[in-house]
Amino acid sequence: MDLIFLAVVYILTSFIIAIMASKRNLSWLRALLLSLFLTPLAGALYLNNTSHVQVWYEDRYRCPRCDFSFTEPMDECPHCLSDGHHVKLNKTVAKMT
């Protein structure tokens, strides 16, 4: 009975460390595997010694015809316009790290 309890606590601790890594924009899978196969202490060390990843979002403008993306706002794709095609750019948001 005690062995089952310890196994459940071990697995739950590993999942908690993985969730904490996910909230810090770190690799939750790496934290989970370290915690499960080494110990939760190794996962906690990974979580503590890895710096927080800063994430920001940047507007991009993508051409649906040539699939080229631009950072500056434009109405039409200059590459396609030089070929004689008037293609309107689609606004997208890119996740940057």
Residuewise pLDDT in 10s, the chain (97 residues): 789 999 999 999 999 999 999 888 888 899 999 999 998 999 889 888 887 667 788 888 888 888 888 888 888 888 888 888 888 888 888 777 6
Note whether 17 and 40 are within 8 A (CB).
yes
**How many whole angstroms separate alpha carbon 8 and alpha carbon 22?**
21
Domain boundary among 11, 29, 49: 49
Whether 31 and 64 share a structural domain: no
Half-sphere exposure of 32 (CA within 13 A, CB side): 10
Domain match, 65 and 42 both: no
**Structure tokens of 52?**
């927080």
Pair (9, 44) in one structural domain: yes
Domain range for 11:
2-49
Residues 10 and 44 in one domain: yes
Alpha helices in the chain (DSSP H): 2-23, 28-37, 40-49, 78-82
Per the structure, how many domains does the chain have? 2
One domain for residues 42 and 66: no
Are residue 43 and residue 6 in the same domain, yes or no? yes
**Is pTM, for the whole model, over 0.85?**
no
